[in-house]
Amino acid sequence: MSIKFYGFWRSLAAYRVRVALKLKGLDYEEIPVNLLAGDQHDPAYLKINPQGAVPALILEGVAQPLFQSMAILDYLDHAHPNPSLMPTQPADRARVLALAHLCASDGHPLVVPRVRNYLQNTLKLDEAARNQWLQHWTLQALQSFERALTQDPRAGRYSHGDQITVADLCLASQVIGAGFFGCELVDLPRVTAIHQALMEHPAFSESMPSRQVGAPTPTTTH
């Protein structure tokens, strides 16, 4: 089976999908779409992802490309269930998805390139105000995540017990974003511990933005 994965080294949404592909042991070819250069708005690329964003996935035998990271993760988990990234009980699934969406739906969409461009070019915010925005929303999602972990006994080594789930993929991407934006992760002990545990897994550490083609420095991240 052939998988074409449209990503970008810096994209946090692409990170989630890259980790899932590696966790499931799937072979893929990553095709970079330079978001900083605006390549996602190219008419040819819009035929692949009508939103003009990454990630997108083209699969052998699937007529239309897949897009939106959470939709791609759902697909991969149904089509390649081993290992599964979701619990089986509906209430547990709901918990994992709620945690995932704290990052993927409410934290991350506020710091993507199209929003950063609007802050700079339309609102004419200076760099300090832009950084304050990026840190504020990135941290707010992690604070909600921490509170959710504290209030629920189902948290464990990872966000949901000892199983790596989509909540962990989203948490890792959010913490990586916090690093990009210079956030100080204070009063987030559970978030920090889970992130550390995740980074011990090669699927998470090898997917790091800094280790992808196109990243500005060829250093590894520890």
- Contact code string over 128-157 relative to a copy of itself, x by CB under 8 A: -x--xx--x---x---x--xx-xxx-x---
Q: Distance between CA 183 and CA 41 in Å, rounded?
A: 30
Q: Least CB distance from residue 150 to a copy of itself, whole Å?
A: 8
Written as six digits, the tokens of 127 are 């760099």
Distance CA 196, CA 174 (A): 13
In which region does residue 174 sit, left (phi positive, over 0), alpha (psi from -120 to 50) or beta (all else)?
alpha
List the one residue from 17, 35, 104, 142 that touches a copy of itself (CB under 8 A). 104
Beta pairing partners, 29? 4
Least Å from the CB of residue 79 to a copy of itself: 5
16/35 Cα distance (integer angstroms) = 17
**Given the rule CB under 8 A, which residues bind a copy of itself?**
46-47, 50-53, 59, 62-64, 66-68, 70-72, 74-75, 78-79, 90-91, 93-98, 100-102, 104-106, 109-110, 112, 114-115, 118, 122-123, 125, 129, 132-133, 136, 140, 144, 147-148, 150-152, 154
